[in-house]
Copies of this chain bind each other. A is one copy, B any other.
């Protein structure tokens, strides 16, 4: 157990890869963009029943905004709080779009090499927990900059505004299995790929 408020040494997620881990009720997850302009897709499942899963629709409904930041909660499909956002140095994240995948690479980047994307990385990382591809919902895309035109409804994926060292801290409100990536898509990350760091602490 680490000291209250003091996170341990960060764990690094290499560029275009993913990880999964358990988080206990009350623990703090810090997602860090160590070099800047890098998106990290976050998923969460109830550790005791993985049919309970992060829900963009429930979260946006309760928050009454698509701009989720400090003070907002991330809800499950059963309307229960999975995470509270307790600190956010960026204030610009996405909860509309799904993890990039082979299909989205083929669609958006037909001239570039296909990558399994966050979807494939999350599926592999979550498989040991009995979670499969079809169980992957809309991710909470940390640092992802998606603009919505209020008049036309048009969506644009813009480079993240996060700078080196920016972070998002989320407190678990139930025992969770978490999936987390360093995103693999060109547009989401300003054209290149960097790592993501994360810490788990009890403080």
Taking Cβ atoms with an 8 Å cutoff, the residues of A that contact B are 51-53, 55-58, 60-67, 77-79, 96-98, 101, 103-104, 107, 133-134, 136-139, 147-156
Q: Roughly how many angstroms separate A63 CA and B53 CA in the complex, as a whole number?
A: 25
- Copies in the assembly, this chain: 2
Docked-complex contact A61 and B104, CB < 8 angstroms:
yes
Residues on the B chain within 8 Å of A156, using CB: 64
Docked-complex contact B104 and A79, CB < 8 angstroms:
yes
Residues on the B chain within 8 Å of A149, using CB: 150
CB distance from A83 to the nearest CB of B (A): 17
CB distance from A130 to the nearest CB of B (A): 14
Q: If A148-B66, A152-B65 touch, does A96 touch B134 (CB 8 Å cutoff)?
A: no
Q: Roughly how many angstroms separate A104 CA and B60 CA in the complex, as a whole number?
A: 12
Given contacts A61-B98, A78-B103, A78-B134, 15 further A-B contacts (CB under 8 A): A56-B56, A56-B96, A57-B96, A57-B139, A58-B98, A60-B155, A62-B104, A64-B156, A65-B154, A67-B152, A78-B133, A79-B104, A148-B148, A148-B150, A150-B151
Residues on the B chain within 8 Å of A136, using CB: 77
Residues on the B chain within 8 Å of A101, using CB: 79
Docked-complex contact B61 and A153, CB < 8 angstroms:
no
Residues on the B chain within 8 Å of A52, using CB: 134
Q: From B51, B58, B137, B150, give the contact of A147 (CB < 8 A).
A: B150
Q: If A61-B98, A98-B61 touch, does A66 touch B137 (CB 8 Å cutoff)?
A: no
Q: Would you list the 4 A-B pairs with minimal beta carbon distance, nearest first?
A: A67-B153, A57-B98, A79-B103, A150-B150
